[in-house]
Amino acid sequence: MGEAGAPGSKNAALPILAATVLGGRSVIHNCPDISDVRCTVEILTALGCDVSYDGHTVTVDARGISSHVLPKEHMEKMRSSIIFAGGLLSRFGQFTAHYPGGCKLGERPINLHLSAFKQLGATVEESEQKEGGIIVAKAEKLAGDKIYLNIPSVGATQNIMLAATLAQGTTVVQNAAKEPEVTDLQNFLVAAGAKISGAGSSIIVIEGVRELRDTEYTVMPDRIVAGTYLAAAAITGGAIRLKNIVHHDMRPIVEKFIDMGSFVTLEEGAICLTAPQRLHGLGYLTTQPHPGFPTDMQPQFMAMLACAHDNTTIEETLFTSRDKHVPELIKMGAKIINRYSKFFHVNGVPQLNGATVKAMDLRGGAALVLAGLAAHGETIVQEARYIQRGYQAIDSDLQALGADIKYFDPQAKICD
Ligand code: EPZ
């Protein structure tokens, strides 16, 4: 049984690092060593913070912050940098940002973020054309309000929490996202002196405070990287002991591994999975906001289902085109019918074949690595830089589990 450990969570580290603009000196431990964290560190530096990063701990001194303008090239490189907006609005009373770059997953609007800022008292001016356009938001002093999200958006929930932290009065977020990364952001802010409660439920209450204090915090483990490593064992009929995980966060993912025929035992902070020679299909799998099955595991499960028994229809409900991995999997012999980039009819085949394929986004790239592990022969995954956005050591971690995988510049080569 191979052993691996989950690194710190990308999707918790990014909003927590953005939240440091609200305070003085923050020390953030267990940040994953990935390009998205390095990009976030560059943004903090561009804003005038004093930042140091050793690959796992980021130390930010925001007392010298001097800019409220989010750099264009960073907004284009990493759309989630819009998460800085709420904190800058709260700290500075203004922010200027470019519309986040297009994304391979389809439409990624930020209307819920901007309408929430307006509800808290900001004026928001947007240039005509969205793509590459500029957003300027200003607010003398933000004032708390009751905000209903018609979609439980993770980013919008987090941006409202950041904008409301130093606002006057109380803000109530209704239909808030319940993802564990929202709870981790609340835990960081509370550790720094914010008055926030309810994260993990659909109602989050933020009572504005005057300022935040210096703080030290450790980011939660990455449940999606953890799920990806479990999938590496499952797709190859192997066994794994995975450490540094939070069982509660993993439940929506783990139950699907069990449904596909894997045997799972839970230990303190760890999970053991033993897979059958060939996985069972699921019949139907739909992505949903937490605590439903997470969209960030959809591509990885598609890779597993592509070589499982039986058939499975996958329904992607969060994004309009999280399907760039489908044609690449088909190149490897998968039988998948794509209906409107929303329904994917996966007919399991006994064996995938190695091929040269291309990563088009982070989780789709990870799915191709998984498919390559199970495939007969050698697989080359081009554009592996996408994978490095969210996986700090997928090569060495999988090698430790027995995989024959190595990065080639610029391709990641996965053999049998
Ligand atoms: C976060 O993105 C994650 N990213 C995504 O992970 C994840 O897939 C997503 O949440 C859903 O769980 C980070 O945390 C950095 P959303 P976010 O706002 O906040 C629509 C990965 O691979 N929407 O919850 O951008 C939106 O179009 C990434 O690690 C609006 O319509 O996701 C989408 O359909 C990919 N208007 C849905 O809500 C808005 O103003 C969910 O998006 C905002 C969102």
Q: What is the DSSP string of 344-406?
A: EEEE--S--B--EEE--SHHHHHHHHHHHHHSBS-EEEE-THHHHTT-SSHHHHHHTTT--EE
Domains, the chain, in order of start with CATH, read 2-218 (3.65.10.10), 223-415 (3.65.10.10)
Question: What pLDDT, on the 0 to 100 scale, is given for residue 99?
Answer: 83
**Residue 410 has what pLDDT?**
53
Q: Whose CA is closest to atom 44 on ligand 1?
A: 153
**How many CB atoms neighbour CB 267 within 10 A?**
12
pLDDT at 415: 47
Burial class (CB in 10 A: 0-12, 13-18, 19+), 258: exposed
Q: Are 282 and 262 in contact (CB under 8 A)?
A: no
> ∠241-310-307 over CA atoms, to 5°?
50
Pocket of ligand 1 contains residue 111 by CB under 6 Å:
yes
Please report the pLDDT score of residue 90 as a whole number: 92
DSSP string, 148-162: E-SS--HHHHHHHHH
pLDDT of residue 127: 82
Give the strand pairing for 195-197 and 239-243: unpaired
Token digits of residue 277: 């020679």
CA gap 298, 370 in Å, rounded: 13
Under a CB-based contact definition with an 8 Å cutoff, are residues 33 and 57 in contact?
A: no
| Residues 184, 134: Cα–Cα separation, whole Å | 30
Sign of CA dihedral 16, 249, 295, 152: negative
What are the tokens at 248?
A: 């509660």
Tens of pLDDT along the chain (416 residues)? 899 999 999 999 999 999 999 999 999 999 999 999 999 999 999 999 999 999 899 999 999 999 999 998 888 888 889 999 999 999 989 999 988 765 678 878 899 999 999 999 999 998 877 677 899 999 999 999 999 999 999 999 999 999 999 999 999 999 999 999 999 999 999 999 999 999 999 999 999 999 999 999 999 999 999 999 999 999 999 999 999 999 999 999 999 999 999 999 999 999 999 999 999 999 999 999 999 999 999 999 999 999 999 999 999 999 999 999 999 999 999 999 999 999 999 999 999 999 999 999 999 999 999 999 999 999 999 999 999 999 999 999 999 999 999 998 755 555 43
Q: Are strands 50-53 and 58-61 parallel, antiparallel or unpaired?
A: antiparallel
Ligand 1 atom 6 nearest Cα:
296
Q: How far apart are CA 343 and CA 346, in angstroms?
A: 9
Q: Which two tokens stand for residue 21?
A: 């603009």
Q: State in Å: Cα 153 to ligand 1 middle.
A: 6
Q: Has 31 been annotated as catalytic?
A: no
Half-sphere exposure of 345 (CA within 13 A, CB side): 3
Quote the tokens at residue 183: 């709870």
pLDDT confidence of residue 206: 98
Instruction: Please identify, by atom number, the ligand 1 atom nearest to the C-alpha of residue 107.
Output: 27
Nearest to 43 by CA among 100, 113, 117, 112: 100
Amino acid identity of residue 84, one-letter, is: F
Q: Taking the CB of residue 73, how many other CB atoms lie within 10 A of it?
A: 12
Question: How far does the centroid of ligand 1 lie from the alpha carbon of residue 82, in Å?
Answer: 11
Residue 101's pLDDT is 66
Q: Is 297 in the pocket of ligand 1 (CB under 6 A)?
A: no
174 strand-pairing partners? 148, 203
* Pocket probe mutation, ligand 1, options 119, 300, 318, max atoms within 8 Å of Cβ: 318
**Contact residues for 115 (Cβ-Cβ < 8 A; gap 6+):** none
Choose which residue among 37, 153, 324, 391 to substitute to test ligand 1 binding: the one with the highest number of ligand atoms within 8 A of its C-beta. Answer: 153
Residue nearest to atom 10 of ligand 1 (CA): 154
Is the CB of 151 inside a 6 Å radius of any atom of ligand 1? yes
pLDDT at residue 341, as a whole number: 94
Name the residue at shortest CA distance from atom 42 of ligand 1: 153
pLDDT value at position 100?
78
Please state whether beta strands 215-218 and 25-29 pair in parallel, antiparallel, or not at all (unpaired). parallel
C-beta of 390 in contact with ligand 1 (< 6 A): yes
Predicted TM-score (pTM) of this structure: 0.97
Protein residue closest via CA to atom 16 of ligand 1: 153
pLDDT for 107 equals 79
DSSP H or E stretch at residue 90: helix 84-92
Please report the pLDDT score of residue 103 as a whole number.
64
Q: Contact, 287 vs 315, CB < 8 A? A: yes
DSSP, residue by residue, 203-249: EEEEE--S----EEEEPPB-HHHHHHHHHHHHHTT-EEEEES--HHH
- C-alpha 260/C-alpha 300 separation (Å) is 13
pLDDT at 416: 39
Burial class (CB in 10 A: 0-12, 13-18, 19+), 283: exposed
d(CA 293, CA 252): 5
